[in-house]
Amino acid sequence: MTKNQVNQHMMALNGDEAIAYAAKQSDVDVVAAYPITPQTIIVEKFSEYVANGEVQTEFICTESEHSAMAACIAASATGARTFTASASAGLALMHEMLFVCSGCRTPVVMAVANRALSAPLNIHGDQSDSMAQRDSGWIQIYVENSQEAYDSILQAFRIAEDTGVLLPIMVGLDGFTLSHSLENVKTLDDEVVKEFVKVRQLPEVLTHEGKMAPFRLDPANPMTMGPVAFPNYYFEFKRQQDEAMHNALDLIQKINDEYSKLTGRSYGNGLIERYQLDDAEVAVVCVGSTSGTLKTIVDELRHEGHKVGLLRLRTFRPLPVEALRSALENVKAIAVMDKSMSFGGNGGAVYHEVRHALYDAKSHPQVINYIYGLGGRDHSPHELRRIYEDLLRLLKTGTVEKHLNYLGLRE
Amino acid sequence: MTSTNQEWKFTTKDIAEKPDLFLSGHRACAGCGPASVLRLIMKATRGPTIVTEATGCMEVVSSIYPYTSWALPWLHTAFETAAANASGIEAALKVMRKKGKVKDEHVDVIALAGDGGTYDIGLQALSGAVERGHDFLFVLYDNEGYMNTGIQRSGGTPKGAATTTTPAGTVIPGKLEAKKPITEIMMAHEMPYVATASAYYWRDLLTKVRKGLEAEGPAFLHVFAPCPRGWRTDPAKTMEYAKLAVESCVFPVWEAVNGKRQLSVPSKLIALAPKKKKTVGEYLKGQGRYRHLFTPQNQKLLDEMQRTTDERWEQLLKKCEPV
């Protein structure tokens, strides 16, 4: 701990509990949520805080995730700091409202305990749910462990509510792998969190009465929110959302730096985390908790003399195209891991986007895809090591056997 | 949860003097029943108010960016979300008031939805919000169909009516199913205030809006609002049909305070003097959506509609306090 860093307290928390604790410390005004595995611990824990008077929060136990998101949007539009959590089918049910949320510029923070989508029904972890929402206008951060889940929720309020961004944000943590696994998590004092997350600030906007007023539903300053926009205006609304995403790219890095000074913890530059990448000839790109296992494998292979590395993509939306390109352009062979499918898309979403980011790289590295872990399918260190071995073989032969590979699948 | 029993006496002067909160310039059709209803409803607000509205005719005609007809804060998110939005607004106001983040004053919350956003796609959210006991007034403006998308059937479309998804064909004479008894469903929620009103009886409507706002907890107001486009009626006769529906007991007006139901004056007069009751045929006549019923082969349908209307009226009388 350096001189300027704050006191921290070690707590034994699983990922869900870490998130509930962070939301509690962030002095959330409204939580509207509906239970779903593996997110349920978050709402259960938060309900305990409410029942014991530990938070000043209105908790709305809605009758569906659709209504949960609708209530969140409305609460946020009223000016409240708003939080929710969901997963899988629940997130899918919210789909319509996720677009409304980003379009209304209501900065709701949501934890997503990533889980497979039906059918067949499966409660276990993969990233199909939030990957399917990648174009819903939400910022997406995926965490590696419970510590990062805690830290990222605190950061999420700062990012989402920033008046230059004003976009909703989802923090994804792998279902069960993180949501239900107990870890040592360093937490901050309530006062420190309070100072870091601050009170939600509202931008001043021009109302139809020609006055400048805080952007919220306020009888003193009436404004019409969620209007109809026809072809003559709709496009500009959407362009502004994309501009806000661009602003988030800088802000996420800034908040990561600020948090690092406060706690000593940072996650790469906030967008991507480079692990042994500087001189790497081959590398894996991964999103989420599997990155932890991959780091061990990188260490192993480095010890054996192989120039291998890892890039953990932390922020998937906005996609850090430049950061990805500069981090990977000198790598010769890259395996991108996808914990979800894009059926008929010839590879997963992360694969598509990493390849897109590398299109302008002069070096033109080979990029292959590994689909893994669907429906909670285990991926052992032994199997993960084989990805690097495949890459090293590819490096030697120069030929790609298969672009699309499935890890641990019976065929 | 309690409800007020205070009788409000709105006068034409009250209405004339109170500035409009639902402003002119909106793009509703000529003779639009719901537009008149909304304007009247906003005349009955009692102080700071936030409105949230489901997707539908009234939402679309009133909020075309960069214009608005809403002189008070207004939020639209989706078709099925009016009640869920009201939950979020009410919860946010409650906690922010406690924390000193907003002015320490009571703010009324009104959710507006058409019959599609109430009977059908919005029913789950409505039921949930009422069960949770949020303090808000839900106003259903019922024009008996999905008029915004071009006159399709809804759960609120009456039996026999022709819509674009229940056309009067050579084999099927319009909608075969009865109108869903939405107010009975809301009554079953044992909520503090449930009422029906018609666009024609403006004083009754305004009084019920005010009482709904004053009720502590959820209130539900079902307003009958004819749609000339969807009903194929003369735009000049909107209020006439709104009156005939009550006079024929097709749409009786009543209110229930804490579950105690009583007829409101226009329907009470018919209960006291049954001879004043008009026939269903008198109400249906002139409505293009029922034109096909006035043929010899469909006479039995007309007779059946009269019979079911009479039966429902008798059932209602039994549910009401004695007049």
- Pairwise CB contact (< 8 Å): A79 & B96: yes
Q: With cut-offs at 50, 70 and 90, classify the pLDDT of residue B2.
A: very low
- Residue B7 has a pLDDT of 56
Count of beta carbons in the 10 Å neighbourhood of residue B2: 12
Task: Print the domain residue range for B234.
Answer: 12-319
pLDDT, mean of residues B78-99? 98
The nearest alpha carbon in chain B to A209 belongs to: B71
- Tell me if B266 is assigned to some domain: yes
In a domain, B5, yes or no: no
A219 and B72: CB-CB below 8 Å?
yes
Contact A225 B107 (CB under 8 A): no
Task: Quickly count helices (H) and strands (E) in chain A.
Answer: 12, 18
Chain A contact for B125 (CB, 8 A cutoff): yes
| Distance set, CA B62 to CA A13, A180, A377, B57 (Å) | 50, 48, 51, 9
Strands (DSSP E) contained in chain B are 49-53, 74-76, 108-114, 137-142, 193-198, 219-224, 254-257, 260-263
Query: Which of A74, A223, A230 is facing B89, going by the closest CB pair?
Result: A74
Backbone angles phi, psi at B146, to 5 degrees: -80, 85
**Domain presence at residue B4:** no
* CB burial of residue A294 (10 Å; 0-12, 13-18, 19+): buried
Nearest CA to CA, how far is A24 from chain B (Å)? 15
**What is the arithmetic mean of pLDDT over B261-272?**
98
Q: Which residues of B238-255 are buried (b: 16+ CB within 10 A; e: fewer)?
A: bbebbbbbbbbbbbbbbb
Q: For B109-130, how does the pLDDT look when each residue is reduced to its tens digit (9 = 90+)?
A: 999 999 999 999 999 999 999 9
**Residue B156 burial by Cβ neighbours in a 10 Å radius (0-12, 13-18, 19+):** buried
* Other C-beta atoms lying within 10 Å of the C-beta of residue A236: 10
- On average, the pLDDT of chain A sits at 97
pLDDT exceeds cutoff 50 at A55 = yes
Nearest residue, CB atoms, A228 vs list B52, B63, B94:
B63
| Total count of domains within chain B | 1
Question: Is residue B132, in this structure, part of any structural domain at all?
Answer: yes
Phi-psi region of A330 (alpha: psi -120 to 50; beta: other; left: phi over 0): alpha
Residues of B in contact with A53 (CB under 8 A): none
Residues of A in contact with B83 (CB under 8 A): 67
pLDDT at B323 over 90: no
- Preceding amide of A119 cis, omega within 30: yes
Residues A97-149 have pLDDT tens digits of 999 999 999 999 999 999 999 999 999 999 999 999 999 999 999 999 999 99
CATH number of the domain at B73, please. 3.40.50.970
- Any chain A CB within 8 A of the CB of B20? no
Hey, are the CB atoms on B91 and A63 less than 8 Å from each other?
no
Q: Answer whether residue B4 shows pLDDT above 80.
A: no
In a domain, B3, yes or no: no
pLDDT in tens, B7-62: 567 888 888 899 999 999 999 999 999 999 999 999 999 999 999 999 999 999 99
- Residue in chain B closest to A66 (alpha carbons) equals B81
Domain membership of residue B312 (yes or no) is yes
DSSP B53: E
Domains, chain A, in order of start with CATH, read 8-203+229-263 (3.40.50.970), 272-406 (3.40.50.920)
Is residue B1 included in any domain, yes or no? no
Cβ–Cβ of A60/B68 closer than 8 Å?
Answer: no
What number is the average pLDDT over the span A4-8?
90
Preferred mutation among B79, B87, B99, B138 to probe A, highest tally of A CBs within 10 A: B87
Cβ under 8 Å to A: B residues 35-94:
48-50, 52, 59-60, 63-66, 68, 70-78, 80-81, 83-89, 91-94
Helices and strands: H and E segment counts in chain B: 12, 8
Q: Residue B88 and residue A64: Cβ atoms within 8 Å?
A: no
Across the range A63-78, mean pLDDT stands at 98
Q: Across the interface, do B76 and A96 touch by the CB < 8 Å criterion? A: no
Q: Which of A30, A226, A228 sits opposite B77 (nearest CB)?
A: A226
Tokens of B8: 């409000």
CA of A98 vs chain B CAs: smallest distance (Å): 10
For B198-207, b/e burial (b = at least 16 CB within 10 A) is: bbbbbbbbbb
Which amino acid is it at B298? N
Q: What residues in B contact A63, CB-CB < 8 Å?
A: 124-125, 127-128, 131
Q: Is the pLDDT of residue A2 over 70?
A: no
* SS3 of residue A42 by DSSP: helix
Closest among A156, A70, A63, A80 to A112, alpha carbons compared: A156
In angstroms, what separates the C-alpha of B84 from chain A's closest C-alpha? 5
Which residue type, as a one-letter code, is found at position B92? A
Is residue A74 within 8 Å of B92, Cβ to Cβ? yes
Cα(A135)–Cα(B4) distance, integer angstroms: 48
Q: Which residue in B68, B95, B112 has the most chain A C-beta atoms within 10 A of its own C-beta, making it the best mutation to test that interface? A: B95
A-B interface: how many C-beta pairs under 8 angstroms? 163
CB A367 within 8 A of CB A355: yes
Residues on chain B touching A199 (C-beta within 8 angstroms): 101
The number of beta carbons lying within 10 Å of the beta carbon of residue A86 is: 29
Per CB-CB distance under 8 Å, the chain A contacts of B92 are: 29-30, 58, 74-76, 78-80, 82
> Residue A58: which of B63, B83, B91 has the nearest Cβ?
B91
Closest CB from A64, A72, A226 relative to B88:
A72
pLDDT, tens only, A145-199: 999 999 999 999 999 999 999 999 999 999 999 999 999 999 999 999 999 999 9
- One DSSP character per residue, B77-121 reads --TT-HHHHHHHHHHHHHHHHHTTSS-SS--EEEEEEESIIIIIT
B188 in contact with A at a CB cutoff of 8 Å?
no
Q: Find the CB nearest A60 among B65, B77, B87.
A: B87
Residue of B nearest to A236 (CA): B65
CB distance B50–A58 less than 8 Å?
no
Whether residue B2 is contained in a domain is answered as no
Task: Provide DSSP, A290-337.
Answer: HHHHHHHHHHHHHHTT--EEEEEE-EEES--HHHHHHHHTT-SEEEEE
Q: Hunting for tokens 């002119």 — which residue is that? A: B24
Average pLDDT over residues A62-71: 98
Q: Specify the pLDDT at position B14.
A: 83
Residue B197 scores a pLDDT above 80: yes
DSSP assignment letter at A288? S
- Chain B residue numbers with beta carbons less than 8 Å from the beta carbon of A56 are 95, 98-99
Contact B50 A217 (CB under 8 A): yes
pLDDT, position B12: 87
A276 exposure class (CB count in 10 Å sphere: 0-12, 13-18, 19+): middle
User: A189-211, pLDDT tens digit by residue?
Assistant: 999 999 999 999 999 999 999 99
Give the confidence band of A255 by pLDDT, cuts at 50, 70, 90.
Answer: very high
Chain A residues in contact with B78 by the CB 8 A cut-off are 70, 96-97, 100
Using CA atoms, how far apart are residues B309 and B312, in angstroms rounded to an integer?
Answer: 5
Structure confidence at residue B308 as a pLDDT band (50, 70, 90): very high
Q: How high is the pLDDT of residue A162?
A: 98
Please check the confidence at residue A10 and state whether its pLDDT lies above 80: yes
Determine the Cα–Cα distance for residues B244 and A66; give it in Å rounded to an integer.
Answer: 39
Cα separation of A167 and A103, whole Å?
8
pLDDT of residue B11: 87
Q: What are the pLDDT digits (tens) for A281-312?
A: 999 999 999 999 999 999 999 999 999 999 99
Q: Which of A60, A73, A228 sits opposite B65 (nearest CB)?
A: A228
Using the beta-carbon criterion (under 8 Å), do A70 and B78 form an inter-chain contact? Answer: yes
* Locus of tokens 């719901």: B34
